Amino acid sequence: MDSILVRGNGPLSGQIPIAGAKNACLTLMPATLLSEEPLTLTNAPRLSDIQTMTELLQSLGAEVSRLQDGKVIAMSSHVLDNNTAHYDIVRKMRASILVLGPLLARTGQAIVSLPGGCAIGARPVDLHLRALEAMGAQLELKEGYVHASAPKGLKGGQVDFAFASVGATENALMAATLAKGTTILKNAAREPEIVDLARCLRAMGAQIEGEGSSSITIQGVDRLYGATHQVVTDRIELGTYMLAPAICGGEVELLGGRIDLLSAFCEKLDTAGINVSESAKGLVVKRKNGEIRAVDVTTEPFPGFPTDLQAQMMALLCTAEGTSVLEEKIFENRFMHAPELMRMGANIEVHGGTATVTGVKKLKGAPVMATDLRASVSLILAGLAAEGETKVARVYHLDRGYEHVVRKLRGVGADIERISAA
Ligand code: UD1
């Protein structure tokens, strides 16, 4: 297994290009299942999760090809000759459940393996299933698979989400585009990836209003058409790299960065003593006066502070002046990076969903283990500012969500390399 070697070597400077959003792409790709006509995505990220979704769609009969060095994904679901999403692919990635809604809406039948638990918590799919039931789907759970059917098609209905789940909103939104009549999604998630999905579906002919608010109304149509859609900027990759000059000092421009994608995060950076300004090409980040100050953070659904940036923010706060309290409200087991950061000298106490971080002067390099996608990048960020060498093992987690991480960080002067397993 490959590992990444990082040596702390002072301030960073230069530009980092931000890719298209993994989480948007993972919901835009299944949208191809809704139409017989081609769907093309531009600005796609090159990641192993995208490859997993490619394999899943291909297993259902879709044609998927990657063009322009992988940045363009051309898909056609003219013929779908299989309606079962098998466990061997679904188990690799929870977002596989996003084929359920579109497959059911288009073909009237779908059999999708339950994704199971994952490292950051139990993550059930009950909200996805309740939403489809509200649209008339009949569901049965058999031997680890959801068997969904709607022989006469889905019907519009009102869905009241008990929690504003991102994935459940996406599944319901896609399914509702082909349901008969009007569907209203209440307490819908408001994430930019959902706005992006709605835009793409509208370009395909769907009738949707209210995306980005907590109430989305969809008027079902008989069919959807082909479209070309540009994937929105990855706000989590953006936030991650914004933390690099915050942690190491220096000044970095994030190409394609937008404050509106990360306003709660930018407010916390401001309190912590980090300056974020808009430039012609994106965002410029640097420290205000050299010192990082402690700040309390609570993760929330959008527009709140994203859970997907909690680990990276913790890496910053490890060397802040004072004590910060981080509350994780979205996932129940998302502090696995804390013991690894402690191996690097961080002072962190975890009690349930709360982590208390008291800043130390300097972290020290150490061998550490990546436990999930965002945890792994937090260890790299910590290593960039630590004294000595940090070796991050199990970097396959990183390949799921960060393209060319070594190249991008080297481009701004970081001392980082990937060591391939012999
Ligand atoms: C998406 C993102 C993930 C991000 C998360 C929260 C993708 C591919 N992944 O995940 O990176 O961390 O949003 O911003 O877009 N829940 C249930 N029942 C359900 C669905 C969810 O109880 O049916 C719970 C989950 O266990 C979790 C919470 O709701 O505690 C949030 O999950 P959700 O918003 O659905 O996240 P995902 O769509 O899985």
The predicted-structure confidence for 288-341, as pLDDT tens digits, reads as follows: 988 899 999 999 999 999 999 999 999 999 999 999 999 999 998 899 999 999
190 lines ligand 1 (CB under 6 A): no
Distance 176 CA to ligand 1 centre (A): 20
Name the closest-CA residue to atom 34, ligand 1: 165
Distance 165 CA to ligand 1 centre (A): 5
Mean pLDDT on 178-199 = 98
Among 307, 330, 377, 402, say which to mutate for ligand 1: greatest number of ligand atoms within 8 Å of CB. 330
Cα–Cα distance measured from residue 177 to residue 34, given in angstroms and rounded to the nearest whole number: 9
Query: DSSP states of 18-76 as a string?
Result: --B-HHHHHHHTGGGGG-SS-EEEES----HHHHHHHHHHHHTT-EEEEEGGGTEEEEE
Token digits of residue 39: 């769907």
pLDDT tens for each residue of 6-50: 999 889 999 999 999 999 999 999 999 999 999 999 999 999 999
Q: What is the pLDDT of residue 189?
A: 98
Q: Is the pLDDT of residue 121 over 80?
A: no
The minimum-distance atom of ligand 1 relative to the CA of 23 is 15
pLDDT tens for each residue of 339-394: 999 999 999 999 999 999 999 999 999 999 988 889 999 999 999 999 999 999 98
Catalytic residue among 25, 118, 200, 318: 118
Fold matches, 3-19+233-419 and 22-230: yes
Indicate the fold that domain 22-230 takes in CATH: UDP-n-acetylglucosamine1-carboxyvinyl-transferase; Chain (3.65.10)
Q: Is the pLDDT of residue 215 over 70?
A: yes
State the residue for tokens 């999403």: 85
172 lines ligand 1 (CB under 6 A): no
pTM (predicted TM-score): 0.97
Is 47 in contact with 29 (CB distance < 8 Å)?
Answer: no
Percent of the chain past pLDDT 90, that is, above it, reads: 91
396 lines ligand 1 (CB under 6 A): no
Q: What is the pLDDT of residue 64?
A: 98
Structural domain boundaries in the chain:
3-19+233-419, 22-230
Pairing assessment for the beta strands 215-219 and 207-209 based on DSSP bridges? antiparallel
Token digits of residue 73: 């994904």
Residue in 193, 189, 188 with CA at minimum distance from that of residue 160:
188
Residue-level length of the chain = 422
Cα separation values, 147 from 81, 113, 143, Å: 17, 9, 10
Q: What is the pLDDT of residue 10?
A: 86
State the residue for tokens 């009738």: 207
pLDDT level of residue 396 (50, 70, 90 thresholds): confident
Q: Which CATH class is domain 3-19+233-419?
A: alpha beta
- The single-letter code of the amino acid at 92 is K
Q: What is the pLDDT of residue 118?
A: 53
Please say if 200 is a catalytic residue. no
Edge-to-edge strand ranges of the sheet holding 109-113? 84-85, 109-113, 145-149, 138-142
Q: What is the mean pLDDT of the chain?
A: 95
Three-state SS at 24: helix
269 lines ligand 1 (CB under 6 A): no
| 326 phi/psi in degrees, rounded to 5 | -110, 125
Mean pLDDT on 210-222 = 98
Mean pLDDT on 41-69 = 96
Among 29, 123, 310, say which to mutate for ligand 1: greatest number of ligand atoms within 8 Å of CB. 123
